[in-house]
Amino acid sequence: MSQLFKDKVFLVLLVLGLLTIVAAAGVITIQRGNDGGQSPYLQVPDDGNLIAEQTIPQENQAVVAGESNAKQNIEEELQAADSTMAAAQQETEPQTAAAAADKEAATSLVLNFNDATKMTWPVRGNVILDYSMDSTIYFPTLDQYKCNPGIVIQSDVSTPVAAPANAKIEEIGTNEELGDYVVLNMGNGYTAVCGQLKELQVVENEYIKQGAVLGYVDEPTKYYSIEGSNVFFELLYQDKAIDPLDQME
């Protein structure tokens, strides 16, 4: 037993000796590193427990050519595009709303002209040739007597010509006698014809309200050179001419 105990003590002492040698060698290595060379660790100063950010000198920084300007230009272009789109939207919205309102108003027009309805005058002026389908009247320019399916209203050139009632533009045409003319469908078989016009402001199949400008008084055609500038106005019921004065206000 005594010999076994001695062997254990020897082993323990041997291990302790080895550990002491290793520790001594480590201390010597660290001291040599501190005395003869630079510390392998970056010494970072600590001001107020804040970590300082190591900055790279500007002259050593890599520069990407045009990066800053390109970014700024893109941002400016995007801002300009947004502004343009906003302006276009602001400009378009009222026009769109107005067009929608006009379309809605047009489709809601009731074309319900009848024998009790009163029309407004397309222009204000003297009637220089009356309606006459039962007898003939004298036409100065033609120097002849003939029937007249409408009335001829004296007016100055370029006077606005107004729609006598709510109507749909059924036809736009021109001929030698009437020049440019417009046919208006006023509903219930009633139609009207306005002739001796220029600069028409309407198109076929368009719905218009009473008082809307159809066009303007033109120079008289060769059929009315003596009578002078005028508006020819004809009223028909089921394609038969009737006296417009009976329906005028």
What is the pLDDT, as a whole number, of residue 9? Answer: 73
pLDDT digits (tens, 9 = 90+) for 212-245: 999 999 999 999 999 999 999 999 999 999 999 9
pLDDT digits (tens, 9 = 90+) for 138-158: 999 999 999 999 999 999 999
CB 93 within 8 A of CB 111: no
On whether both 102 and 143 belong to a single domain, the answer is no
235 assigned to some structural domain? yes
Q: What is the mean pLDDT of residues 182-201?
A: 98
140 assigned to some structural domain? yes
pLDDT band at 62 (very low <50, low <70, confident <90, very high): very low
What is the pLDDT, as a whole number, of residue 244? Answer: 97
On whether both 241 and 141 belong to a single domain, the answer is yes
Q: What is the mean pLDDT of residues 91-117?
A: 67
Percentages of the chain per state (helix, strand, coil), in multiples of 5: 35, 30, 35
48 assigned to some structural domain? no
DSSP of 115-172, one letter per residue?
TT--BPPSS-S-EEE--EEEEEEEETTTTEEEEESSEEEE--TT-EEE-SSSEEEEEE
121 assigned to some structural domain? no
Q: What is the mean pLDDT of residues 122-144?
A: 97
Give the lowest-confidence range in 50-54, 124-128, 194-198: 50-54
Report d(CA 99, CA 239) in Å as an integer.
34
Q: What range defines the domain where residue 17 resides?
A: 1-36
On whether both 98 and 134 belong to a single domain, the answer is no
Q: Which residue has the higher pLDDT, 190 or 110?
A: 190
On whether both 94 and 136 belong to a single domain, the answer is no
pLDDT band at 63 (very low <50, low <70, confident <90, very high): very low
pLDDT band at 41 (very low <50, low <70, confident <90, very high): very low
On whether both 138 and 102 belong to a single domain, the answer is no
On whether both 210 and 102 belong to a single domain, the answer is no
On whether both 104 and 131 belong to a single domain, the answer is no
The type of residue at 121 is: W
On whether both 83 and 156 belong to a single domain, the answer is no
What is the pLDDT, as a whole number, of residue 88? Answer: 58
What is the pLDDT, as a whole number, of residue 245? Answer: 97
72 assigned to some structural domain? no
46 assigned to some structural domain? no
Q: Is the pLDDT of residue 161 over 60?
A: yes
Domain count, the chain: 3
Q: Is the pLDDT of residue 3 over 60?
A: yes
Q: Is the pLDDT of residue 108 over 90?
A: no
Report d(CA 56, CA 208) in Å as an integer.
76
On whether both 103 and 134 belong to a single domain, the answer is no
On whether both 133 and 206 belong to a single domain, the answer is yes
